[in-house]
Chain A
């Protein structure tokens, strides 16, 4: 009775809803077959592809993270290198300035010494030239005086003067 009731009820409900239960069964079977086919042939490669893609994404993410870390590390390294380079450049500039200052001082000292030497040499040369000129003048004067005296004396010294000269010489040699 129950079975009959059920069949009746079901038949009645399906009919009331406009559903052909045979068609429904057929559709369910078809759906099951479809699901089975999908599970058998479509989902595995799809899941495999998704897994692969996920792995790739994760690997890419990892690589990106690693690259980011490397970039950060490189950035730190670059910053450190830049700091060192700046420090080194600063030291080089300081050393160069000190060397330039020392060189300038040394050059100045050398120039001063050289100029003093040149001035001293020039003064020495001038002094020598003045001395030579004085000597030349002295010698020329003596030459002129001697020559003039010889000429004048030869003409002007007479016996009287000569006697006086001789007497004076004899007196002086006593």
Chain B
């Protein structure tokens, strides 16, 4: 019987492969195939988080940035500067429901400066 590989070890394998300049798509396919084979597809999201955490530990930060409009290059640079890691990859998402501002999520940190969030805080101020 095949022993179960922990999510942490799987993330380490993927990050090691990426750092070894293996084809990222191929490595991701391998990991996905393993999850399907071991019937752990529900852990896909968690595995991605684990990979991002491991990358962050090695100075490579994947930041999920949400804004109502496409970010100008100037703003992307400012965000990267704010994160301050060795290597930063921005995963930008455009979501008009946030109305304005920006939401930056990195492993272990979250900056939600959207107008939607401010309105939500205002709503929560209700007694």
Contacts and interface: CB of A to CB of B under 8 A. Distances in A.
A138 B75 CA distance: 37
A94 interface: no
A20 B96 CA distance: 187
A161 B119 CA distance: 17
B102 interface: yes
A142 B69 CA distance: 27
Nearest to A140: B126
A169 B78 CA distance: 11
Contacts of B78: 166-167, 170
Contacts of B122: 142, 145-146, 149
B82 A142 contact: no
B126 A161 contact: no
Interface secondary structure of A, over-half rule: helix
22 contacts: A139-B127, A142-B122, A142-B125, A143-B123, A143-B126, A149-B119, A153-B99, A153-B115, A157-B99, A157-B100, A162-B101, A163-B72, A163-B74, A165-B101, A166-B75, A167-B78, A169-B111, A170-B79, A170-B102, A172-B113, A173-B113, A174-B82
Interface string A137-162: 01100110110011001100101011
B100 A161 contact: yes
Contacts of B17: none
Contacts of A146: 119, 122-123
B: contact size bracket: 20 to 34
Nearest to A172: B113
Pick from A146, A166, A167, A169 the residue with the most CB of B within 10 Å.
Answer: A166
A159 B69 contact: yes
Given A149-B119, A167-B75, A173-B113, A157 B126 contact: no
Which 3 A-B pairs give the minimum distances between C-beta atoms?
Answer: A169-B113, A139-B126, A135-B127
Contacts of A153: 99-100, 115
B84 to A, nearest CB: 10
Nearest to A137: B127
Contacts of B82: 170, 173-174
Nearest to B75: A166
Interface in B68-127: 68-69, 71-72, 74-75, 78-79, 82, 99-102, 111, 113, 115, 119, 122-123, 125-127
